[in-house]
Structure 1
């Protein structure tokens, strides 16, 4: 068996997230089907994480193993870079493979990732070209106040207050290294970078920072929310349409 990493991007609007689930169309389901057809054997991918319904990815990694398709047909040979066009022709237009490359047999798309980064986009005026790509926010926000609060995030490690309830994680600790808003194309872009993220964490953080921007809570209250470790105290999750996984880092991937 040979293990491969596959890098892809996708528009998540019509998908119920990355991970295969019953009675719902997902990115992983479409990718596994395309790979299985192309390589003429059953292929199952393992993703670098999971994205929720409607969330996008400009960079996403998964790994999969290839062996002989049958006794008569050996392991697929050739240059992995030349497989990309054929696999893309089998995928829906919303999903695009960027590259495929060999990795060590024990390389893992999820557990070997050292850092991940997300962007969140929101805009303030109706724009048909941002439909399902950005959150239309109708109101004013205090950018400086939101950035003051965002700058506090790296000082904490336990983000239980921003995590979806009843998840299967062993710890809610994360190491955030960067979090800030900046103006972008008639709206704002939020960037956050960490070693790992909890389910729904980014959208809950932004929902709470928006409360800062609306002057509903202050910095002291923001700290109290984090320290409470209670999801009920944090803000509502913002819509999924503005969220993009933009970067996943590995020590062995350039």
Structure 2
């Protein structure tokens, strides 16, 4: 995606946000609060002309971000730090601009080498009063080793139809996963998955299915059979949105200006 205007300057933003306060990333009809919408509104005020913000990932309603990446073009350039500070004043507190940087016009936030998601699960008897909108509470212990044994089959280039939403519009269900593992984090366990791209609801469907193995309801063999069977109806339930975070976005080459 080249610049919309000759002579425009392109910027990259890194954002953190609480997805529970928005109807997803992507701009929708007027009156629907989205992350893209509120940031574009602030950028338009700063730049004095309409601004299109292009994000690396279109997170769903309720899904959070620790490291979303986006770019925009403007005919009224300023120092990146000026944009960062001003945006943090003009956007709601549920959004934070962590970083702003000048990038070449060829940079496109959508063309990431890989994206990484993190899913938080709290496997204990009592729910969390403070993190109830940010972690999936499971009222019992989960077998971390069993879930990791199943998760290892996800790594590589595969057809992920078994974990694809019926509303997914991707042209192909094939994705390449570079990392898929559960790691202990204090009382919580986190599922970390890194891939070149993701299908609609793919991570939440995977987590919901892996938790069945952690409960002892599914064997490793059953997980593999369902995964390779390519039938979403045979897989487990979808995990709730509020435990999911877009944690990292990585680009193949360094982003430097000439």
* Alignment TM-score > 0.5, same fold: yes
- The separation in 2 between residues aligned to 1:213 and 1:101, in whole angstroms, is 42
Using the size of structure 1 for normalisation, the TM-score is: 0.92
RMSD (CA atoms):
1.4
- The separation in 1 between residues aligned to 2:237 and 2:106, in whole angstroms, is 39
Do the aligned partners of residues 29 and 235 (structure 1) sit closer, same or farther apart at CA in structure 2, a change above 3 Å counting? Answer: same
Once the two structures are superposed, the pairs formed by residues 116-131 of structure 1 within 5 Å of their partners are 116-123=115-122, 124=124, 125-131=126-132
Deviation of 1:21 (Å):
1.6
Deviation of 1:5 (Å):
1.3
- The separation in 2 between residues aligned to 1:190 and 1:122, in whole angstroms, is 8
Instruction: Spell out, residue by residue over 1:178-222, the C-alpha distance to the aligned partner (whole angstroms, 9 max, x if none).
Output: 111122221211111111111111110010001111122212211
Name the structure 1 match of 2:254.
252
Deviation of 1:155 (Å):
4.2
Deviation of 1:253 (Å):
4.0
- The separation in 2 between residues aligned to 1:168 and 1:252, in whole angstroms, is 31
- The separation in 1 between residues aligned to 2:120 and 2:197, in whole angstroms, is 20
- Secondary structure at the counterpart of residue 118 of structure 2: strand
Alignment partner of 1:65 is 2:73:
yes
- Secondary structure at the counterpart of residue 37 of structure 2: helix
Once the two structures are superposed, the pairs formed by residues 108-147 of structure 1 within 5 Å of their partners are 108-110=108-110, 112-123=111-122, 124=124, 125-147=126-148
Name the structure 2 match of 1:2.
9
- The separation in 2 between residues aligned to 1:135 and 1:95, in whole angstroms, is 22
Name the structure 1 match of 2:168.
167
- The separation in 2 between residues aligned to 1:205 and 1:126, in whole angstroms, is 22
Name the structure 1 match of 2:52.
44
Using the size of structure 2 for normalisation, the TM-score is: 0.91
Name the structure 2 match of 1:104.
104
On the 8 A contact 2:152/2:180 being kept in 1, the answer is yes
Deviation of 1:156 (Å):
4.7
Unaligned stretches of 5+ residues in structure 2: 1-7
Name the structure 1 match of 2:233.
232
Name the structure 2 match of 1:70.
none
On the 8 A contact 2:160/2:227 being kept in 1, the answer is yes
- Secondary structure at the counterpart of residue 158 of structure 2: coil
Name the structure 1 match of 2:149.
148
Corresponding pairs, count: 245
Name the structure 2 match of 1:71.
none
Unaligned stretches of 5+ residues in structure 1: 68-74
Instruction: Spell out, residue by residue over 1:23-65, the C-alpha distance to the aligned partner (whole angstroms, 9 max, x if none).
Output: 5211111110011011111111111011111110000111111
